[in-house]
Structure 1
Amino acid sequence: MLKIGDNAPELTLPNQDDVEISLRDLAGKWIVLYFYPKDNTPGCTTEACDFTATLPQFDTLGAVVLGVSPDSTASHQKFIAKQKLDITLLSDSTTQIAQRYGVWQLKKFCGKEYMGIVRSTFLIDPEGKIAQIWSNVKVKDHASEVKKALEALV
């Protein structure tokens, strides 16, 4: 399991426009990397809309917000258009990055077990180290909580 102070695992994933985004390309910036289960579901929609609403404040703090799910780039495009999102969404269709970050885990719902994303957020500092981790995120006020943590560190 990753800990505060660890180097953030490198990632290169396509965004909603099929443009590859790598952490190494964002060196020198703060990165809010949040993992969520599925596009266009209630909790994930609320979280994405909240990050979009607070995006100007993250920009002011020199931070980039990246959402990651196993959904396809086409699904991300539809999600962004439908919800009028301004954030960047990355497609981890193989779940390789989710596994590297330790968020691809066994989940239970209605008595069934399955593998899926455990909603989690990583705040990565400009040197590429993990500055903060939120696991099993509750969506309500999460974007504000991440912003406050970033403000305390900048």
Structure 2
Amino acid sequence: MRAGAALREAQGYALAGAADRCEDALERAQELYQAVGEPPYGTRSLVDQVAVFRAWAFYDLGRHAEAAAILDTQLPLIAPTALRARTRFGLRRALAYAAAGEVDHACELVTGLLDDIRQVQSATVHTDLTAFSKLLSRLRPAAGREVAGEISEILFPG
């Protein structure tokens, strides 16, 4: 329970832009999880909850390329049967790439997730898909035109 609280604390510090405090909370969470072995609290779909939280904290701190790199290593570790987790963190990986300036690659990643996004009924996925859509609207990449239409159909079904 304390490890989960430390992860939430890290997330709050990241949102506040307090990088050092965020890192301290992430390290504390890592130590607490290691002390108990298997995490008794939170999702069981993630092999390393701290790494995934670190990625999203880095995203919130503006360290987008680092966030994408962490998610590159963590996403393959999520079981293929954990559709919601794979979709959620796959979409966050695409957001990190887009924010890091690799918008075409991000669009490719989202294109590969569209069927899964349609299957997963998740408010978090919907929120992240909306954020990705807004990013595409602002950046207007050539690769984003087709995926933007499909995203719009998902977000605003006829």
Flag the structure with larger Rg. Answer: 2
Give the alignment's TM-score, normalised by structure 2.
0.27
Determine which structure has greater relative contact order: mean sequence separation of CA pairs < 8 Å that are 6+ residues apart, divided by chain length: 1
Which is richer in helix? Answer: 2
Which is richer in strand? Answer: 1
